[in-house]
Structures are given as C-alpha cells and as structure tokens.
Chains A and B, each alone.
Chain A
Amino acid sequence: MYDIKALYEAESVQDAIRLLQEHPQAQIIAGGSDVLVQIREGRRAGAELVSIFSIDEMRGVCYDADEAIRIGSLTSFSHIAASPIIKDKIPVLGEAVSLVGGPQIRNIGTIGGNTCNGVTSADSASTLMAWDAVVELHGPEGVRRLPIRDFYIKAGVVDLRPAELQTAILIPKVAYEGYFGHYIKYAMREAMDIANLGCSVNAKLSEDKKTLVDARVAYGVAGPVPMRAPSAEAIARDAAVCRETVEAFARAVLYDIHPRDSWRAAKAFREHIAVELAKRALTESIERAGGVIDG
C-alpha cells in the first residue's frame, strides 16, 4: 500500500494536461517503476499523482513525417527492443534498453519515464543523446519539440513546464541514416543493475569505409546528466579508420566528461572505464558500419 494522497487517471493526452492544470501539485506517473519506489522510500510520500499509464496513444514505434522514427513516450523497453523499426534502423537503442534492470522492469519501464526522471544513469538516455533525439512535449500552450540535450537541465530536472508532458521521442532521419552504433553498460552485475557508466557511440563511414565521416559519443554517469563528448567527436570527424583514431578519440573524452567520486564508483575508476568503453564502442560501431580497423 502506497502513501498516495490522490490518484487521477488520464484517458488522453489532453485529459492529462487538464488534470495537471487542475492539480498543480500532482506528479506524473507513467510505468511507476521510479515513482512508486520513491513514494515507498518517503521521497514522494503523500503525493498526488496523475496516471498516464492508460494513454495507449502514447505507445508504439512508427515512422513520423520525413521518416523520423517516432517512439511514443509510454512505449516499454521490451516493446522498443521488439520493434521492427528499431531493429532495422537503430538496433543499438533496442540493445541499450534491453540492459535496463531485468525482464519485468523492461515490461513496465517506459522510455518517457527513463528520460523525464532526469537521471544520468538511464540506459536509454545516452543512446538517445548520441542519436540526436528530439523530445516532443504537449502542454497547455500546445506542442513543442526540443533536442534531448536541451531537455536535460540538471540532475533530476528536465525542461518540463507546468502541466506539460512528454509524448514522444523522435529520431530524425538525418540522425540515423548511415549510422551504426554500440552501447556498453558498465555495471557490477549482468542484470538488475544500474550503470556505473554507460557509453553509446555511433559512427558513419565514407563509401569506401576508410574514413569516419562522423562519430558521436554520449555518456551516462559521466556527469550530472547524460552528456556528449564533443572533443572526442571532433577528433573522429573525417579521420582515418585506424587504431590511432580510436585511441585518440577515446582519450579525448577526458576533456569533456566529469564523473564524480561516489560510493558507487571512484572518479579515477570511472574515467579509466570511460576511455576504455569509448575505445570498444567506437571499434564495434566501425565494424558494424563495415569498416576494418588496421592492426
């Protein structure tokens, strides 16, 4: 039994906005795998909740205008992983969300919840960040879209205005076409764990597979919110596909990331792992893109 003050169930996006306006103190609950846990531990005890769980229009993966991939915010991790569109265009996202918690958590956890909680360790977030995802927000003022990197404000805080909710995450065609990626979750267990560090890399190669046209890298837990490593990306852009590029790219992430010391992991350890993961994730991305890294 949860210490919930009141529960309002929304039947549609508009209904949710209305309920949020009527109950300005209310918090949104989607799958509940974070919110309910926080109520139980007392952090959100006594909360008023607007449940959006039953809004089926916010579920599913499809193509939007201009072949952007549209993922409804309430789509569960397991449904994302099973989506033919995801498997075809950005399999790495399916792989990343298949590393969240365990099977039951992946059935209840939603990609919207995973991003709206503003948590740096979210397994989907670094990959979305690395793929230049765009979030779609519905509020009393209408719809707005913003790049996911602008959505994150600080630890635990995202750019959600009063009575606004995230309805979808979009990956534009320009962001995925020709890109191949790899995500590595670094955790203490192979399942049921939270990332000590997450690294998502994707790469686009030239026609002849000899040159990196572009490489993008994003981290979870390398800072207060998921973040890109622009210095590393700059090194990789138009660089030759070779071991030196991979090494330089990986080393350069240290210019950008700033993990902290905590009981979950020491800063020096996270930095070491960040470099190693960048190396491995870029290598794998290049191989998936058809490139061959020399000696």
Chain B
Amino acid sequence: MYAGQRVRRVDAFDKVTGRTRYTDDLCDRGAYIARILHATVANGRVVSIDTSEAEKVPGVVRILTCFDLNEKHYFPTAGHPWSTDPSHQDVADRLILTDRVRFYGDDVAAVVAEDEVAAAQALKLIRVEYEAYPFVLDVQKAMEDGAPQLHEKYPNNILKHTQIRIGDYAKAIQEPGLTKVEGWYETPVVQHCHIENFICFAEAEGDKIKVVSSTQIPHIVRRIVGQALGVDWGKVRVIKPYVGGGFGNKQDILYEPLCAWLSLQVGGHLVKLDVPREETFVCNRTRHSIRNHIVSWVRPDGTYAARKLEAFSDQGAYASHGHSICAKGAGCFPQLYPCDNVEVDAYTVFTNKPVAGAMRGYGIPQAMWAVECHTEDVCAAIGADPVAFRRKNLMPVGYVDGFSKNELYYDSFNQCLDKAMAAIDYERKYKEYQSQTGDVRRGIGVAMFWYNTAVWPISLESSSCRMVLNQDGSFQLQLAETEIGQGADTAFAQMAADVVGVPLDKVHVVSCQDTDVTPFGTSAYASRQTYIAGFSIRQTGLLLKERILDYAHRLTRMPTFNLDIVDGNIVRTTDGRVLMSLAALAEEALYSLTDSQHISAESTYQIKSNAYSFGCTIAEVEVDIPLCKVKLLNIVNCHDAGTLINPALAEAQVHGGMSMGIGFGMSEKLLFDEKTGRPLNNNLLDYKLPTMLDHPRLVAEFVENPEPTSAFGTKSLGEPPACSPAPAIRNAIYHATGVGVKNAPANPHNLFRAFTEAGLIHDERQVPPCTT
C-alpha cells in the first residue's frame, strides 16, 4: 500500500535539479513580447488613445487598444465549471480590453514588440485621454444611494445579497438575562504572491489557437478563451506546464484571452505575456476584503440564544467569482457554532478596486477572522474559558447540514483541540500568561475552522481518468486535475498504484495537461483534487485491472475471479502463486500476432457528495507593547482531513497554509491611495510577505478519521490550513495584552492605534519632552 506512506514527490528530483519546465522555460525565444497599458484613473471612460509616438519605437510590432476590439464578447473569468443553466452561469462582465475603466489598473491597450525594452518604451509613449468619474473604494459607501455606479445592471453596486434565516432572531433576543456582544471585524485586501507570476504565450496552430499558460484550470481556460474570442471551444488548445504556485489566483482566467487575441492580431505569431510582479498584485486577482458585523446574544450558561452576521464583501471592479466567496463564509456561520435563531445577510459589492477572486480558503479565512475573534470577545464578555466555551458551542457530533448533506461523523473538533493543546502545552501556558504586567507579555490563543471539500452540490463535480498500459507493465496516468505545487501528482500516483496493484515507479503521471489530449476535468480549486480524483482513479484503475485480468485469463486460462495484480505481477489468489509479471502480459498483449490489444481504461466519475474538513490553530506570541510588535513564538495546526494519502506532503501543505495565515494575520495588506485609487505597495518590498525570519517552527498535527464518502477516506487539506492561524494569533495577542484588534492584520500600525486607545502606550506628543 502506498496510500498513507511518506513517499517522495514524483516531481521532486526535476525540481531540485532545475529540469522542471515552467511556462517561460518552454517559450521560444522568437516570441513577440506583449505588455499591457493599465488605466491611471479609478473610474471613468477612455476618450481617446494616441499611439503615434509609441509606434515609432524601433521594435514595436503592433499597438492595440480598446477601440480595436471589433467584436465585443463579454466573458466571465471565474474558474468554475460551466453551467448549462444560464441562471447559474458566472457573470460575464469582462472584455479583452476596455474603454470603460472601473479600477486603477484596468486594461485599456496592449503593445506587441520584438523585445521587452521596446514594449516598455512604447507603453510610456502611449497617450490616453480619460473622462474621469467619481470613484468609491469603501464597500459600504459603495452601497449608498448616489454612490458612483460601476455596472448598470447592479443598483447600489450590489452584485448579490443573500440571506439565511433560522428560527426567530427578533423574538429570541427578548429572552431575559442575555448578554449582547457586538463587534465589527474586517480583513484586508491581500494577494496570492505565488513566486511565478502569471505568464502565458499563444500562437496560431492551423485554424486553432494554442495557449500555454501558468494556470490551475486548463479546460476552463479553453472554454473561456473560446467565449472571449467568439470561437468554437474546440479551436482552442490550452497547455498547462508545471506551475510556480497558484493559490486561487490562477483559478481565474487572467490574460489568456488577451494573449490569444494579440497573437491573432499579429498573424498568429507567437506572443508572450509575462506579467510583471507589480501588475500581478493588482491586475490579476486579490482576496476579498470582508467587513463583518456580528451580534451574539449569550445566555448566562454560556450558550447562544441568537446570532446575527452581516458580511460586506468587497468585490472590486469585476464579478470574477462573485458572491460565492462571501456566501461560503456566510454559510459557515450557522454551522460552526449552531444556534436556534440566526440571521445572516451577505452582500457582495462592487468597488473601484482590483478584482477579488478565489484565494486559498475561499472566504473562510475572512469568516474565521470574524467568527473566531468574536468568539474570543464573547468569552471575554461573559468570563468564559476560550476552549471550554468553544467545546460547548461547536457543531456537535452527528450534525448534518441540510444543503450539502455533510455530516460530522466523528468528534473531530475535540480531537483536534486535544492534540493541538498537547503539542503546544496550552494549559500550562494559558495559566502562566494570565494577568501579566510589564512591557513584554506573552499570550496563547485558539481558533477553529470549518471547511468543505469540493463544490457539490453548488456545481458539477466530476473527474475523468485515463490509464494506458505500456509494454513494461507500467502505465500512464492522465487526469485533468493539476499539479500546482501541492503534490497532487504524487498522491494520484500512490492511489493509482494501490488500485491497480503495481509498484509506485510503474505509474507515470502525465503532469502536463493539454486540452486536446487530457481527459476533461475542472482541476485545482476547492481543495477537491485528492478527494475527487480518488473516485475516478479507483473506478478507472479497477477497469484497467479488469481488462488486464481478462487478458491474463486468456493467457493463463485461470478464472478472472481467482486472479489479482499484486506488486506488478499476475497472482493466483487461491494459492498466491505468481503466474506472470504484468510486464510480460503487457508485452504479449501489445505484440501478440493472434490477440493484440493496447490495454487502456478511461472513465468519468460524477461525484455527488461533499465532506466536512475541520481543525484548529493554537498560537503563542510575545508582544513588545512599546514597540507595538508581535513575535510569533509557536504555532500548531491540527487537522482532521480524513485519511492522509501522504503524511509528509500533508504536513508540507499545512506549513504553507499556516504561513499564508500568518501573513494574513500579522503583516500583509494591499494599500490604495484614497485620493486616486492607485495601489501603493504592489511590490514584494512594500507588501509584507513573511520571510523565513518572520516564522517560528511550524507544527502540523493530524487526526485521521476516515471520511466515509471518500474513495480513499480522504478529504480537503489544501485550503484548510490557511483558515484559522490569523484569528489564533489575534486571540493570543488579546490574551497577552487585553487588547483585541478588530481588523487584520495585527501589524504594528494597527497595534499602535489599538494600544494607544487602550492606554497601554501614550502618544509621545501628548507628553512634553523633558529636560533634566
């Protein structure tokens, strides 16, 4: 059995030797270089574009503007499965280039040049005349009557408003003796910061257009490039090589349609679009900033009588993944801490900011920030122990969600808490850090999270798998589920080897997806791939095995029900005798003069289930109050992600998610100039991605309760680790100082304000400078 083993990554050798080819490594050096001209107003209209000076730059091939778009094919960008029901389709509000500018950085023109210097020079010489409109950056101001409107079809800029109503909130709050706890909790705009920027190249191939892209979702890119260009989807070929990280940004169609279009405008010549880091920050996608208002009514016994959440999600300028992110967080609210009387209102609202899309956690890190900060505030208000209160109110064992039919089968929350608490020595530290004084104090804090696996029943869930047997008894494993760094290929190989019964090195994962060749699937998002691909791998593996054993029957005359494949051999199960190697069978099957067969199997599995994934973070901090600085001393995540296919890679996934959560909680925030809407810190110096020095040792723990709905007992782990670190850190700071910040990140700027308000530090200007 390979599932459950810490086997080495199938792609690790190439990655440590520099052999791995990413998109840029595959692009021919004769490619033209494309660069995009981005708008310098936050809201408005392009009146005219003068390219005459730019065209004089030697090496410029062609300059194309929003006015060169002969046909306007509006397209959606979200990496969601297509829906044949128009009411469930993503909002199609993007154009390849736009004359209606909705954020500072919108795409108004593009240069195609022979080299990057010529392209950069030409960009500087293009003169654009704008008619600037008033703009709005604040999510709630955007909802006010009279606010600047971004899209005609959405009054008050509200893309969508959804509600959840359980019981009778208004009545429930009348219960005598309740304590009301209320707070506003906000998360910042942050960015994925995969180290490989988005990059793609395109060229014509016969009557088709080929796009090679650093994407998570090749088949979806094919569909949307087709929609954007107004061509049949089969005329688009998308290739996905190795990807230098995605984290949801590349679960959107970014510039593949533009690059394909540019290639077609220059006679199908190869065109490369390598997006600079500064543009990746603001012209790709960001994480939605969500402002949450939570009101809880708590009984003296520490239970909830009624709860209310209002969530205002800042979508930025275009719909992208739209309301799904905010809705996911809102949907989690009544599930994590169930209560008989709940009101939830979730709004997704357009503003003149960069477009928010999918990012690791898909709304749950924002929701957990709000919910777990608030839970701590509730504990403080009623004098409850943070762990005991959570244990009392968390989703109980046996809970079933009416919509997803997800069930909490095990006592996962308590098991995760127990394990994490033991790992970090919580009880002792919690007591030790109570009631400290002095400038430097320590604290320890907890936060829980809730997650789903995959997107059923909201959208389609299916996976297609192909296995093709080689002469040596090895086989190719092809899936549309993509390797983007998480280790998917390795997990797939482990599962496939087990199902078919071959040594791991007999499974050749075809890592590169090519939509002309790769079976259909919707790829990397929603922490779905190991769960989803597990079904098609098991089904296809059994099919392949059946065909192999059928052939073995013809060669050995043994009944197939007495045959098995074990460790790459055809084995008679009745006595365990090895009848022949799979290699011998495969060779015979292919070259037989009497019964030649190329044995392969292919199947699609449609999944109609989903699975809860749970866990928690405990963080320990040291706060230097006068310096407004927090040092993260220890942090542990504990997850119930079901049975782990590869514990080593699972740990690594958790580390990465924790790291993203640490940045989210402590340092990362994209800033915008209030006067112009211009981004201020869209580079890796000014945007504070944590470095190795900003991290303590990261500890990942697991509770392995096998998921009953899963083909291999597994469930989501890609996104869950990023969900709870930020509020755990915040709660630890609260424990240390008695100051609970409401807005992430808890960086020194934020802590300076909070500590000043709390009287922990004094504004130096209020104290006269003294002389002795």
Do any beta carbons of A and B sit within 8 angstroms of each other in the complex? yes
* Residues of A in contact with B (beta carbons under 8 Å apart): 1-3, 41-42, 45-46, 102, 186, 188-194, 196, 231, 235, 239, 244-245, 247-248, 251-252, 254-255, 263-266, 268-269, 271-276
Which of B116, B692, B767 is close to A191, meaning CB atoms less than 8 Å apart?
Answer: B692
Residues of A within 8 A of B176 (CB): none
Q: Is the interface of B mostly helix, strand, loop or mixed?
A: loop
Measured as residues with beta carbon below 8 angstroms from the partner, the interface class of chain B is 35 or more
Given A188-B748, A265-B749, A266-B749, A244-B769 contact (CB < 8 Å): no
- Indicate whether B435 reaches chain A with its CB closer than 8 angstroms: no
- Which residue from chain B places its CB closest to the CB of A101 in the assembled complex? B685
B760 smallest CB distance to A (angstroms): 12
- Indicate whether B613 reaches chain A with its CB closer than 8 angstroms: no
Given A190-B691, A268-B763, A276-B627, A45-B115 contact (CB < 8 Å): no
Given A1-B116, A273-B627, A45-B748 contact (CB < 8 Å): no
A58 smallest CB distance to B (angstroms): 27
Residues of B within 8 A of A251 (CB): 764, 767, 769-770
| Stretch from B86-94, B117-125, B418-426 at the A interface | B117-125
Contact with A along B746-771 (1 / 0, CB 8 A): 01110010000000010111010111
- Indicate whether B517 reaches chain A with its CB closer than 8 angstroms: no
* Residues of B in contact with A (beta carbons under 8 Å apart): 115-117, 120-121, 124, 278, 626-628, 667, 671, 673, 680-681, 684-686, 688, 690-694, 747-749, 752, 761, 763-765, 767, 769-772
B329 smallest CB distance to A (angstroms): 27
Residues of B within 8 A of A275 (CB): 764
Given A235-B772, A266-B749, A191-B688 contact (CB < 8 Å): no
Which of B115, B117, B769 is close to A254, meaning CB atoms less than 8 Å apart?
Answer: B769
CB pair B124–A192 under 8 Å, yes or no, is: no
- Which residue from chain A places its CB closest to the CB of B690 in the assembled complex? A189
Given A186-B627, A269-B749, A2-B769 contact (CB < 8 Å): no
B4 smallest CB distance to A (angstroms): 38
CB pair B120–A3 under 8 Å, yes or no, is: yes
Residues of A within 8 A of B681 (CB): 263
B412 smallest CB distance to A (angstroms): 35
User: When chains A and B are docked, how far (Å) is the Cα of A1 from the Cα of B276?
Assistant: 13
- Which residue from chain B places its CB closest to the CB of A2 in the assembled complex? B117
Q: Closest 6 A-B residue pairs measured CB to CB?
A: A190-B693, A191-B691, A251-B769, A191-B693, A248-B772, A269-B752
Which of A194, A252, A271 is close to B685, meaning CB atoms less than 8 Å apart?
Answer: A194
User: When chains A and B are docked, how far (Å) is the Cα of A264 from the Cα of B749?
Assistant: 9
B74 smallest CB distance to A (angstroms): 32
CB pair A272–B761 under 8 Å, yes or no, is: yes
Given A251-B767, A252-B771, A189-B761 contact (CB < 8 Å): no
Given A188-B688, A245-B772, A45-B765 contact (CB < 8 Å): no
CB pair B667–A189 under 8 Å, yes or no, is: yes
9 contacts between A and B (CB under 8 A): A188-B747, A191-B692, A251-B764, A263-B671, A268-B752, A268-B763, A268-B764, A271-B765, A276-B626
B538 smallest CB distance to A (angstroms): 45
User: When chains A and B are docked, how far (Å) is the Cα of A190 from the Cα of B692?
Assistant: 9
Number of CB contacts from chain A to chain B under 8 A: 91
Please give 18 more A-B residue pairs, beta carbons under 8 A apart, in addition to A191-B691, A252-B771.
Answer: A1-B117, A2-B117, A3-B121, A45-B120, A45-B121, A188-B667, A189-B667, A190-B693, A191-B692, A192-B685, A248-B770, A251-B769, A251-B770, A254-B769, A255-B769, A264-B686, A268-B763, A271-B765
User: When chains A and B are docked, how far (Å) is the Cα of A273 from the Cα of B629?
Assistant: 11
Which of B120, B627, B671, B772 is close to A42, meaning CB atoms less than 8 Å apart?
Answer: B120
- Which residue from chain A places its CB closest to the CB of B667 in the assembled complex? A188
CB pair B752–A189 under 8 Å, yes or no, is: no
Which of A1, A189, A268 is close to B688, meaning CB atoms less than 8 Å apart?
Answer: A189
A110 smallest CB distance to B (angstroms): 19
Residues of A within 8 A of B120 (CB): 3, 42, 45
CB pair A252–B769 under 8 Å, yes or no, is: yes
User: When chains A and B are docked, how far (Å) is the Cα of A12 from the Cα of B501?
Assistant: 70
B86 smallest CB distance to A (angstroms): 44
- Which residue from chain B places its CB closest to the CB of A277 in the assembled complex? B627
User: When chains A and B are docked, how far (Å) is the Cα of A162 from the Cα of B680?
Assistant: 34
User: When chains A and B are docked, how far (Å) is the Cα of A102 from the Cα of B680?
Assistant: 22
- Which residue from chain B places its CB closest to the CB of A244 in the assembled complex? B772
Residues of A within 8 A of B628 (CB): 269, 272-273
CB pair A42–B124 under 8 Å, yes or no, is: yes
Residues of A within 8 A of B694 (CB): 189-191
CB pair A268–B765 under 8 Å, yes or no, is: yes
B129 smallest CB distance to A (angstroms): 20
User: When chains A and B are docked, how far (Å) is the Cα of A235 from the Cα of B769?
Assistant: 11
A268 smallest CB distance to B (angstroms): 6
User: When chains A and B are docked, how far (Å) is the Cα of A295 from the Cα of B325?
Assistant: 55
Which of A3, A264, A276 is close to B117, meaning CB atoms less than 8 Å apart?
Answer: A3
CB pair A1–B772 under 8 Å, yes or no, is: no
Residues of A within 8 A of B772 (CB): 235, 239, 244-245, 248
CB pair B765–A254 under 8 Å, yes or no, is: yes
CB pair A272–B764 under 8 Å, yes or no, is: yes
Which of B667, B749, B764 is close to A271, meaning CB atoms less than 8 Å apart?
Answer: B764
User: When chains A and B are docked, how far (Å) is the Cα of A275 from the Cα of B681?
Assistant: 27
Residues of B within 8 A of A248 (CB): 770-772
- Which residue from chain A places its CB closest to the CB of B673 in the assembled complex? A263
User: When chains A and B are docked, how far (Å) is the Cα of A92 from the Cα of B202?
Assistant: 54
Residues of A within 8 A of B680 (CB): 263
Residues of B within 8 A of A245 (CB): 772
User: When chains A and B are docked, how far (Å) is the Cα of A271 from the Cα of B116?
Assistant: 44
B708 smallest CB distance to A (angstroms): 44
User: When chains A and B are docked, how far (Å) is the Cα of A189 from the Cα of B694?
Assistant: 7
CB pair A102–B691 under 8 Å, yes or no, is: yes
Residues of B within 8 A of A263 (CB): 671, 673, 680-681
Residues of B within 8 A of A255 (CB): 769
Residues of A within 8 A of B673 (CB): 263
Which of A1, A2, A45 is close to B124, meaning CB atoms less than 8 Å apart?
Answer: A45
- Which residue from chain A places its CB closest to the CB of B685 in the assembled complex? A194
